[in-house]
Amino acid sequence: GAGVSQTPSNKVTEKGKYVELRCDPISGHTALYWYRQSLGQGPEFLIYFQGTGAADDSGLPNDRFFAVRPEGSVSTLKIQRTERGDSAVYLCASSLSGGLSYEQYFGPGTRLTVT
Amino acid sequence: AQSVTQLGSHVSVSEGALVLLRCNYSSSVPPYLFWYVQYPNQGLQLLLKYTTGATLVKGINGFEAEFKKSETSFHLTKPSAHMSDAAEYFCAVSDDMGGAQKLVFGQGTRLTINP
């Protein structure tokens, strides 16, 4: 079946602009995660959804970052007033449910470049 | 707080040689440990994981890893490297708290296979 998809694959924006990054999880997966991977680093956790609710947003770096999952499927990561330091690959992952028994399946990521 | 250190950002081995990628972790609670592989322009793929029980864990593509609590290590090995093993490898740790599988990743090791 289809894996996790993310759109766009690449996004170039100017400093100060607003961007939205989309994640389509595997059908039926209730848990969804966002990570950010800066150049030369491993992914860093941003936020976790169980169903429609953000169960853990402790990784969001500041209030410019926000994510939603209104129907418990597709999720959108929103970044306001982008800064050059926001440039990174944003990864989405989904799993059948939360907890360690369930494998996270990762999408290919969205590469965000802020100029 | 949990953390992961991967020794060596780049490892190069000859085809057919032993692959050894090093990972040390820090965790205040019993850890759950993972190895992921990332091929260019693809999402991360789970190679193997340790939760409880047998400390030698076998994964896909002939990889295995051994959890050594006394050394706080979870090194990844493969007896004989193939050209197709060339990729970036990430070690990660998580804990079974709060329902979320929040992964904390190391910085990654890029594996190169020489013909």
In this prediction, residue A8 carries a pLDDT of: 97
Are B46 and A102 an interchain contact pair (Cβ–Cβ within 8 Å)? no
Q: pLDDT tens, B24-54? A: 999 877 788 999 999 987 889 999 999 888 8
Give residues 41 to 100 of A whose Cβ lies within 8 Å of B: 41-45, 48, 50, 55-56, 59, 91, 93, 95, 98-100
Q: Which of B51, B92, B100 sits opposite A98 (nearest CB)?
A: B100
Q: Are B19 and B77 in contact, with CB atoms under 8 Å apart?
A: yes
Give the C-alpha separation, B107 to A44, whole Å: 10
In this prediction, residue B64 carries a pLDDT of: 97
Residue B19, chain A, CB below 8 Å: the answer is no
In this prediction, residue B42 carries a pLDDT of: 84
Q: Are A50 and A39 in contact, with CB atoms under 8 Å apart?
A: no
End-to-end CA distance of chain B: 41
State the greatest distance between any 2 C-alpha atoms of chain B, in Å, as a whole number.
Answer: 46
Nearest-Cα distance to chain A for B87, in Å, is 14
In this prediction, residue A71 carries a pLDDT of: 93
pLDDT tens, position by position, for chain A (115 residues)?
589 999 999 999 999 999 999 999 999 999 999 999 999 899 999 999 999 999 899 999 999 999 999 999 999 999 999 999 999 999 999 999 887 778 899 999 999 999 9
Give the C-alpha separation, A48 to A59, whole Å: 9
Low-confidence ranges of chain B (pLDDT < 70): 96-99
Q: Which residues are CB-contacts of A31 (< 8 A; sequence separation ≥ 6)?
A: A48, A49, A50, A94, A95, A96, A97, A98, A102, A104, B100, B101
Name the burial class of residue A87, with classes exposed (0-12), middle (13-18) and buried (19+) by CB atoms within 10 angstroms of its CB: middle
In this prediction, residue B97 carries a pLDDT of: 63
Which of A45, A57, A110 should one mutate to test binding to chain B, selecting the residue with the greatest count of B CBs within 10 A?
A45
Is the bond into B115 cis (omega within 30 degrees of 0)?
Answer: no
Q: Which of A42, A56, A104 sits opposite B90 (nearest CB)?
A: A42
